[in-house]
Amino acid sequence: MLLSHLREQVLEANLELVRRGVVVFTFGNVSGISREDGLVAIKPSGVPYEELTAEQIVVTDLDGRLIDTNLRPSSDLPTHLELYKAFPNIGGVAHTHSEFGTAWAQAKRPIPCLGTTHADYFHGPVPVTPDMSADEIAGAYEKATGEVIVRTFRDLDPDAIPAVLVAGHAPFCWGRDAADAVHNAVILEYIARMATHTMAVNADAKPLARALHDKHFYRKHGPGAYYGQPGSG
């Protein structure tokens, strides 16, 4: 089987989405990329998670041409491909309609950094894309979704903020590999839920002070990181 290791990783990452309770039915999809081969592995379209096997994981090139498969890829594939092309350090993408993340996407509100849990993972608010135009929606919609995400990150670092809320739709998250993208998707849902509760308790709650935000982010990321065990990522 071509890219069997990557396919197994992508299968496992898709199943992890289900185990963590961030998808219902066949909503959601995870992909991973082999930068060496220029090939992407992604969940097939519409196959129930409980029936999913590594052989069914679809492999395509960065132009979406199918390699060694007779199943159709997730319809969101063109969005994933735009992210891989624009964000050179990412190795996995996860898309869910998780409840609280989607609520913020529908409200078209960026998730402010209200606490250190958010700061540990996202170096700033989780942004919301602008609305897509009627032409973008009528045309190559999934590709245009990727393009609007990339535009949203024109002045942001996708390695420091590994998630976005697509306005009126739902979150897309990414990471070093497929498993890391799913990890970030689960954390995004958690911080979205906590932000909702925080704003319910105090609608005037203020974002975390910059110094505390930076302290938490940089103790886990970058050259000065000291959180966790060496090499554990």
Enumerate the active-site residues: 120, 227
The residue at minimum Cβ distance from Zn ion is 170
Comparison of 60 and 145: residue with beta carbon closer to Zn ion? 145
Number of neighbouring beta carbons within 10 Å of residue 230:
7
Site for Zn ion, residues 148 to 177, rule: CB under 5 A: 170
**Residue 65 has which token pair?**
């041409």
- 91 near 77, Cβ under 8 Å? no
DSSP for residue 111: B
Query: How far, in Å, CA of 230 to CA of 232, rounded?
Result: 6
Comparison of 162 and 171: residue with beta carbon closer to Zn ion? 171
Comparison of 97 and 219: residue with beta carbon closer to Zn ion? 97
Minimum distance, C-beta of residue 231 to Zn ion, in the bound complex (Å): 35
Comparison of 3 and 13: residue with beta carbon closer to Zn ion? 13
Minimum distance, C-beta of residue 170 to Zn ion, in the bound complex (Å): 5
* Residues pairing with 66 in the sheet: 60
Comparison of 102 and 217: residue with beta carbon closer to Zn ion? 102
Number of neighbouring beta carbons within 10 Å of residue 137:
12
User: Collapsing DSSP states into helix, strand and coil, what is residue 80?
Assistant: helix
- 160 near 217, Cβ under 8 Å? yes
Per this entry, what is the length of the chain?
A: 233
Among residues 58, 84, 62, 73, the alpha carbon closest in space to that of 176 is found at: 84
Minimum distance, C-beta of residue 233 to Zn ion, in the bound complex (Å): 28
Query: How far, in Å, CA of 116 to CA of 15, rounded?
Result: 28
Task: Count residues near Zn ion (CB under 5 A).
Answer: 1
Minimum distance, C-beta of residue 95 to Zn ion, in the bound complex (Å): 6
Q: Which residue has the tokens 């996202």?
A: 122
Minimum distance, C-beta of residue 182 to Zn ion, in the bound complex (Å): 15
Residues that bind Zn ion (CB under 5 A): 170
